[in-house]
Chain A
Amino acid sequence: MEDWKKEWQPMIDAIGLNFNEGRKQWGADSVERGSIRQFLEPLEFDCPLHYDKAAANEYGYSDVVAPYSSLFTWLIPPYWEPGMGVFNRAERNTPVTELPLLVVSTDLAPPTPFYFATNVEVDYIKPMTVGDRLCRVGDVLLSCVPKETKVGRGAFLTWETKIQNEKDELVAKIRLETYHYFPHDK
């Protein structure tokens, strides 16, 4: 095995482990009508289930229902909270101090500076309607595959997570694959 791939061995050894057993990781906000409306805008997504309560009721939903694809939006934690400082530098391309996206923090993986999502699979159990608050429960590592790609050297990680609402009802199960990497030297 090449040396850079060996750095991922602790993650490979951890396949099957639940990194956040029993821990609930809540999204920043409840499912809100205004946020759903904003979600529809860039998609030009004209579906009355997502903006008309009467239409949603007619089709069996208790309130305006969120698009299936917005599941991840309701799971993203806040970028800023009272007491935090996340915009500390004025350089043009400085990102917020910490991205709270749906990546599992662990010391077992090499400290790659970049990542992006590459694959997602979702089983939907229950609709997400206005007023729901969602959380992730547990993050089981399903696979770790070191690979060199066009953008750099790193590994594809796949995690399985259960999604629950504030009533502890199962809403969905997701399997998210992300690629974490060190970019190639320019």
Chain B
Amino acid sequence: MGVKQQHYWEDVRIGDEIPSLHFPLSVARLVMAAGANRDLNSIHHNSEYAKETGAPDMYANIIFLYGMWERTVREFMGLSGTIKSVKEFRMKVFNTVGETVVTKGFVKKKWQENNESLVELQIWSENSRSVTVGPGQIIITLPKRP
């Protein structure tokens, strides 16, 4: 767990898999996430309220789910990498309490532009039944080998 190594642009190949991470969603975790990221809409920490809104149960908020992608990408790219943009972070299915969100992805493209070494990653989240978020694209910068 944690950021263990630095990825260099030269070493990244199109099609490389991005290591998956697992995020089990307990009530305690969803409550902690809502408090920490300040999205305190009751749909994210109160099952009864969430069901009143038509959802099957309380579900992870967008900031928490976005953080899962960021941690996945950070552990892949290392401390020198930066995120330039995130596209199509689309939530298709509620990530409800009791599910485990699994992040997945691969390297889609790499190129150089304006003295930056860029890589496009395709990322998505799944639960036990389907893709729940994405697939989206994250463009990162990576350092070149010294």
Contacts and interface: CB of A to CB of B under 8 A. Distances in A.
B53 A183 contact: yes
B37 A118 contact: no
A18 B1 CA distance: 44
Interface in A38-69: 38-39, 41-49, 55, 59, 67-69
Interface string A143-186: 00000001110000000000000000000000001000101100
B64 A46 contact: no
B63 A69 contact: yes
Per CB-CB distance, the 3 closest pairs between chain A and chain B, nearest first, are: A151-B54, A46-B2, A42-B33
B140 to A, nearest CB: 10
A43 B68 contact: yes
B66 A120 contact: yes
A: interface residue count bin: 35 or more
Interface string B77-121: 001101111111111000000000000000000000000000000
- The majority secondary structure among interface residues of chain A is mixed
B: interface residue count bin: 35 or more
Contacts of A4: none
Given A47-B79, A118-B91, A121-B86, 5 more contacts: A42-B33, A47-B74, A72-B63, A118-B90, A122-B86
A95 B71 CA distance: 30
